[in-house]
Amino acid sequence: MAETRDRILDALGTLLPEVGPAGATLEAVAARAEVSKGGLLYHFGSKEALFAGFLARLEEATAGEVERMRASADHGVETYLRISSVTDDHFTRTFLSALALIGTAEVDAAATVARVLATYRSAVEECVPDPVLARLVQLVGDGLYLNAMVGSLDPAEDDHVIARIVAMTRP
């Protein structure tokens, strides 16, 4: 069942920020997903496949987020930065989990994250004519993600930064 598969990936997503890749044991993931270890290995033949499945879903979700950016009235900049600074967003959590996967032997998470960032970058460049400014916008978003990763994010305060940047991008 595809539902079970997604439940397993969700379980991995909640587990990774809590205990890191080392703590994300097959048994731990199975327990969190309320599946047996055998059941997990039925859906994902190996830990590598499990992680790869997670990263694949991240890339799909990225496409969806970029679509949301394109559809937004302000041409996406604010939408982009808001997502980065809202830590309880599902996509943000998935992205942070992927960051936690960087450095694991099983899978090249860095490459996937790099692709995700590149996708975002093209999207930002679409709605900010000045390429230097576009890159600046993206770097601020990335900075927000890094701060979210280490848990030092004050969303209320960073609202002002976001507002400033949005103002810069529409003269």
Partner DNA sequence: ACCACTGTACCGGCTGGACGGTACAGCATC
Partner DNA sequence: GATGCTGTACCGTCCAGCCGGTACAGTGGT
How far apart are the C-alpha atoms of 96 and 75, rounded to whole Å? 25
Q: Which stretch binds a copy of itself (CB under 8 A): 2-10, 44-52, 58-66, 137-145?
A: 137-145
**Should residue 163 be labelled a site residue for DNA when binding is judged by CB under 7 A?**
no
Cβ contacts of residue 156 below 8 Å, gap of 6+? none
# residues contacting a copy of itself (CB under 8 A)? 43
Footprint (CB under 8 A) of a copy of itself, residues 71-100: 99-100
Q: 132-135: long-range contacts at Cβ-Cβ below 8 A with a sequence spacing of 24 or more?
A: 133/168, 133/169
The DSSP code for 106 is S
**Should residue 111 be labelled a site residue for a copy of itself when binding is judged by CB under 8 A?**
yes
For residue 76, the minimal CB distance to a copy of itself (Å) is 17
**Should residue 130 be labelled a site residue for DNA when binding is judged by CB under 7 A?**
no
For residue 22, the minimal CB distance to DNA (Å) is 7
Q: Six-digit token pair at 111?
A: 């490459």
Amino acid at 142: D
How far apart are the C-alpha atoms of 162 and 77, rounded to whole Å? 9
For residue 65, the minimal CB distance to DNA (Å) is 28
Query: Out of 48, 56, 139, 170, which residue is the one contacting a copy of itself (CB under 8 A)?
Result: 139
Cβ contacts of residue 146 below 8 Å, gap of 6+? none
- The answer to whether residues 134 and 75 touch, using CB atoms and an 8 Å cutoff, is no
**Should residue 45 be labelled a site residue for DNA when binding is judged by CB under 7 A?**
yes
For residue 18, the minimal CB distance to a copy of itself (Å) is 9
Footprint (CB under 8 A) of a copy of itself, residues 143-162: 143-147, 149-152, 157-158, 160-161
Query: Out of 48, 67, 74, 159, which residue is the one contacting DNA (CB under 7 A)?
Result: 48
